[in-house]
Amino acid sequence: MDRKGLLASFLKLREKYGDVFTVYLGSRPVVMLCGVEAIREALVDQAEAFSGRGKIAIVEPVFQGYGVVFANGDRWKALRRFSLATMRDFGMGKRSVEERIQEEAQCLVEELRKSKGALLDTTFYFQSITANIICSIVFGKRFDYKDPEFLRILDLFYQSFALISSFSSQVFELFSGFLKHFPGIHRQVYKNLQEINDFISHSVEEHRETLDPNAPRDLIDTYLIRMDKEKSDPHTEFHQKNLIINSLSLFFAGTETTSTTLRYGFLLLLKYPHITEKIYKEIEQVIGPHRPPAFDDRVKMPYTDAVLHEIQRFADLIPIGVPHVVTKDTHFRGYFIPKDTEIYPILSSSLHDPRYFEKPDDFNPEHFLDANGALKKNEAFIPFSIGKRICLGEGIARTELFIFFTTILQNFSVASPMAPEDIDLTPREIGVGKVPPTYQIRFLPR
């Protein structure tokens, strides 16, 4: 493995061995799936067999198979059902998720106005707005952008995502059995995530003291009520440990991925001003300057929609996918895969497949437009993965991306201190996740 990391090594091996091959990571065999056909055949056509979740060595000591992202078997099924239903209920409760996103977008506009066109690093703003949506569902409240506790949590998320995606983390993945006994970034990640867990535990205690079983305010309340109902069942999955780790999973996944996509998106808009101009035109035609954008506007804005698809494809946020395991002995494309073997669905190989995207390494919204300028579906577009483990928050993420993007661009034009041709898109880290470079941007009121 070179400094480019595991992804580059896997893609090289694909050229030699095709779409399905085994690699030894340290001493354990892992099956790589490349290209949308192989990934779809496994995760959709043999969904049950491929629905197990593998481990990521650097976060394993924190998650330990608890919470919806890393759970397996009945625990995973129970937590997924609960999380989906609750996110729906609190999304569809007194205010829909969409209304919450619209309100948060307006809060951000107010905040960006205060900058008076000064140069900003968007990292923390984009984290705040995405975190606040998930906070309103999980904790029942949003945080002020200046709240020191909130800022601390966001910083821990940001640092952790960068560390988890770093070269050192990939080396740790290969030799964790040995390296875990020594100092290293794995200890920092553990410390960061435990600090976030303490914050969640504290919030759970506050919820417990003020709980009204007849009027749950958010996901934590709903969970506590369920916990109480099932407390005599020795096999229940509704216990404190799952509550904390499940909240961490939703909080982390719901904050870091969408905010990173927004950061990549605005960097791309600075680099390709002619694309930004076309979005402005579409916003003016469809939404106009005064009313807040709504998710329904999307169908009338194929160009903007295509740009958002292309940002997700290009950002390629979880390039090697989150690892799966097969839940039973499995036959796949003429291979025998023993139960519990790890599977890496290399999402990047699908998002950059030249058979589906004409110039896969270029940023080009035309990848998602037909000859008449209408949005066209592309089956290799799987940024949220596919199958039974598809991202829980896909619907929320799509709504956030559309509303946050259009609301910001309805109110501001964007400017960079650098000439577009000097803007570098090279990611800061490529590992489990892809971290865009840091950059400065101006938001100029329109």
d(CA 302, CA 245): 38
pLDDT the model gives residue 88: 81
Token code pair at residue 47: 């969904």
Q: Measured between alpha carbons, how far is 87 from 67 in angstroms, rounded to an integer?
A: 15
**Under-50 pLDDT residues of the chain:** none
Give the pLDDT of residue 5.
82
Cβ atoms of residues 313 and 333 within 8 Å: no
What confidence score (pLDDT) does residue 298 get? 97
The residue among 266, 364, 356, 357 whose CA lies nearest residue 307 is: 364
pLDDT digit string, tens, across residues 333-343? 999 999 999 99
Hey, what domains does the chain have and what are their CATH numbers?
6-445 (1.10.630.10)
| Residue 111 burial (CB count, 10 A) | 17
Of 88, 155, 189, 196, nearest to 204 by C-alpha is 196
Looking at residue 6, what is its pLDDT? 86
135 labelled ligand-binding: no
Q: Rounded to an integer, what distance in angstroms lies between the CA atom of residue 139 and that of residue 224?
A: 12
HEC string of the chain equals CCCCCHHHHHHHHHHHHCCEEEEEECCEEEEEEEHHHHHHHHHHHCCCCCCEECCCCCCHHHHCCCHHHHCCHHHHHHHHHHHHHHHHHHHCCCCCHHHHHHHHHHHHHHHHHHCCCCCECCHHHHHHHHHHHHHHHHCCCCCCCCCHHHHHHHHHHHHHHHHHCCHHHHHHHHHHHHHCCCCCHHHHHHHHHHHHHHHHHHHHHHHHHCCCCCCCCCHHHHHHHHHHHCCCCCCCCCCHHHHHHHHHHHHHHHHHHHHHHHHHHHHHHHHCHHHHHHHHHHHHHHCCCCCCCCHHHHHHCHHHHHHHHHHHHHHCCCCCCCCEECCCCEEECCEEECCCCEEEEEHHHHHCCCCCCCCCCCCCHHHHECCCCCECCCCCCCCCCCHHHCCCCHHHHHHHHHHHHHHHHHHEEEECCCCHHHCCCCCCEECCCEECCCCCEEEEEC
Q: What pLDDT, on the 0 to 100 scale, is given for residue 4? A: 67
